[in-house]
Amino acid sequence: MTETDTADIYARHQALYDRVPVPSHVPPDRVVDFDYLHPLGLEEGDVYTAWHRLHDGPDIVWSPCNGGHWIVTRGEDVRFVQENFEVFSHEIFSIPRGSSAVRMPPLTVDPPLHARYRAILNPFFTPTRVRTLRDKAEMLTRELIEEIRPQGGCEFVRDFARIMPVTMFLGIVDLPLDQREQFVSWGVTFMTSTDSREKLGAQEKVVAYLQKILGERGINPGDDLLSKIAGWRSNPRFQGEYEVVGMALLVFFGGLDTVANMLSFITRYLAQHPDQRRRLIDEPEIIPQATEEFLRRFGLSNTGRLITRDFDYKGVSFKKDEMIMVPISMSSMDDRLYDRPLEIDFDRNPAHNTFGNGPHKCVGNSLARAEIHVFLQEWLKVLPDFRLDPDHPPITHSGAVNGMDSLHLVWDA
């Protein structure tokens, strides 16, 4: 491929993020100029405040940004879209449409075919496996805290959030710990960059690396998840190399980003609310319930669905081949579902859909819960009093996954 060809690919990919004309079937009162990658108010330091502004308008809106797409803003409608895959397909989940060049089963496969890929992943997240992983997470968490405690402060995202859960993930897939920072850099670039050269370049590097690993694991398999994915090639239902590469890519990106961001949002909140910290210390038995409330409040994913046919819903006329965004955080902040939704209430005992609903519910949800439990239990034992560094305000980002770029903390050493 020539340099001109490559430049043309990047230019066409970048054009996917352009604003487009409003289709004639979209009523003017449904149109919002909302760029989910750069929402108005993000510069104020909180991605959730930026998203919450959508609740000032209609329940379902249309944005001309990023190729044009619908957005559901209420929990009832988020759940409806999640559960009705016949109309709202997972076949294409990235917005803008075409911004990911690789299909990633089982995420990009609808039932019933979806189940064949989930069957490969499920055994790695059984209760027995999660209990073993929790023990490892406890030891690792204690080690990391002891390393940073004497310093009197840390940049939490770099020094903890992208180490503990990522190290746990690398154990599941048996990838080298000494390449952790490189893996995280690739993952964060792909998940957050809107520069086509950077985004596609990161994905290409990950794909090339995983192809090499999958080739090796196919010859010399182990007990790790990537070996099991490589083994799919021998299944009589195997359809092509894209399946194993796509599964591996999905696992790779999912393992590097989501729990790290959740831990960072939780920690920012606790740094600002010493009374809530003290309650978790004095009543450790409420940590599981508090975890559910944190999960409710800090919904992370903003993924898309492909509309498979013309469909009327709540006064909106969806058209075949349009995209619709399903932002989990809008359920989290929905005052029709929760009293005082922006507040953290450890007595709330909430139902939530942070991990999704229906057959595509996150396969790693039990491990994510265990890692949050461990963090709250171990961190607060050793560092009960910490606060935000006033000289370095937190920086958040919006994208396919809401996240924290930096979180500086200080404490009395």
Q: Is the pLDDT of residue 169 over 70?
A: yes
Residues 6+ apart with CB under 8 A from 340: none
Q: How many whole angstroms separate alpha carbon 18 and alpha carbon 350?
A: 38
Q: Give the type of residue at 147.
A: E
Contact 37, 16 (CB under 8 A): no
Contacts 24+ apart (CB under 8 A), 350-356: 350/292, 350/293, 350/296, 352/292, 352/295, 352/296, 352/299, 353/75, 353/78, 353/79, 353/82, 353/299, 353/328, 354/295, 354/296, 354/298, 354/299, 354/300, 354/328, 355/295, 356/82, 356/301, 356/328
Q: How many whole angstroms separate alpha carbon 349 and alpha carbon 278?
A: 19
Domain total for the chain? Answer: 1
State the pLDDT confidence band at 406, using cuts at 50, 70 and 90: very high
Arithmetic mean of pLDDT, 223-244: 96
In a domain, 413, yes or no: no
Contact 325, 304 (CB under 8 A): yes
Q: How many whole angstroms separate alpha carbon 299 and alpha carbon 334?
A: 12
Backbone angles phi, psi at 406, to 5 degrees: -155, 145
What is the span of the domain harbouring residue 367?
3-405
In a domain, 398, yes or no: yes
Q: Is the pLDDT of residue 344 over 80?
A: yes
Arithmetic mean of pLDDT, 165-192: 94
Q: How many whole angstroms separate alpha carbon 359 and alpha carbon 218?
A: 28
| CA proximity to 257, closest of 356, 373, 165 | 165
In a domain, 348, yes or no: yes
In a domain, 190, yes or no: yes
What are the tens digits of pLDDT across the range 269-314? 999 999 999 999 999 999 999 999 999 999 999 999 999 999 999 9
**Residue 7 CB neighbours (<10 A):** 11
In a domain, 411, yes or no: no
In a domain, 64, yes or no: yes
* Alpha helix stretches (DSSP H) within 149-240: 156, 164-173, 180-192, 196-219, 225-230
**Residue 231 CB neighbours (<10 A):** 16
State the pLDDT confidence band at 4, using cuts at 50, 70 and 90: low
Beta bridge partners of 166: none
What are the tens digits of pLDDT across the range 77-108? 999 999 999 999 999 999 999 888 788 999 99
Contact 253, 397 (CB under 8 A): no
Residues 82/38/74/264 CA torsion (nearest 10 deg): 80
pLDDT in the model for residue 2:
66
Contact 116, 338 (CB under 8 A): no
Backbone angles phi, psi at 31, to 5 degrees: -90, 130
pLDDT in the model for residue 386:
98
What are the tens digits of pLDDT across the range 362-401? 999 999 999 999 999 999 999 999 999 999 999 999 999 9
In a domain, 412, yes or no: no
In a domain, 235, yes or no: yes
> How is residue 70 written in tokens?
């619908």
What are the tens digits of pLDDT across the range 18-64? 999 999 999 999 999 999 999 998 988 799 999 999 999 999 999 99
| CA proximity to 302, closest of 162, 93, 106, 114 | 93
Q: How many whole angstroms separate alpha carbon 81 and alpha carbon 88?
A: 6
Q: Strand 69-72 relative to strand 323-327: parallel, antiparallel, unpaired?
A: parallel
Q: Identify the burial level of 300 via C-beta atoms within 10 angstroms of its C-beta, where 0-12 means exposed, 13-18 middle and 19 or more buried.
A: buried
What average pLDDT does the structure give for the chain?
Answer: 94
Contact 356, 362 (CB under 8 A): yes
Arithmetic mean of pLDDT, 215-237: 97
Overall size of the chain counted in residues: 413
DSSP helix/strand/coil, 342: coil
**CATH number assigned to the domain comprising residue 169:** 1.10.630.10
DSSP helix/strand/coil, 61: strand
> How is residue 204 written in tokens?
């290409």
